[in-house]
Amino acid sequence: EAEVAQSPRYKITEKSQAVAFWCDPISGHATLYWYRQILGQGPELLVQFQDESVVDDSQLPKDRFSAERLKGVDSTLKIQPAELGDSAMYLCASSYDRGADTQYFGPGTRLTVL
């Protein structure tokens, strides 16, 4: 069964350092999402891609966060510099297309900022 892959699974960093997360969506899925989930809360969207184009990044803190999907396949989310409040689970999801298509989530990257 096809799955969304993410790495690393865990990341511990000190504040002011740079971190990067990688996501490989299910093959053939054109839409890719990055969500952030704080403990005890539901996931919240950071950025949505359709192929290589950004569809919605209204909730992405652009002063420190960046995301790219250069070839319309895998994607990287970067934080520079990391802050204590960035500690959370970063989830990647993909769907075949836009609309009410099912979004399939990866295992997530647990980030701890010290």
Partner 1 sequence: EDQVTQSPEALRLQEGESSSLNCSYTVSGLRGLFWYRQDPGKGPEFLFTLYSAGEEKEKERLKATLTKKESFLHITAPKPEDSATYLCAVQASGQAGTALIFGKGTTLSVSS
Report the phi/psi class of residue 46: left, alpha or beta, with left for phi > 0 and alpha for psi in -120 to 50: alpha
CA dihedral 11, 48, 36, 23 (to 10 degrees): -30
40 touching partner 1, by CB under 8 A? yes
Give the H or E element holding residue 79: strand 75-79
> Which CB sits closer to partner 1, 68 or 81?
68
Applying CB under 8 A, which of residues 91, 94, 111, 113 lies at the interface with partner 1?
Answer: 91
Applying CB under 8 A, which of residues 25, 32, 48, 111 lies at the interface with partner 1?
Answer: 48
Applying CB under 8 A, which of residues 1, 63, 70, 102 lies at the interface with partner 1?
Answer: 102
25 touching partner 1, by CB under 8 A? no
Burial class (CB in 10 A: 0-12, 13-18, 19+), 34: buried
> Which CB sits closer to partner 1, 9 or 15?
9
Map tokens 């790219």 to a residue.
68
Which residue ranges make up the site for partner 1 (CB under 8 A)? 4, 6, 31, 33, 35, 40-45, 48, 55-56, 58, 91, 93, 95, 98-108, 110
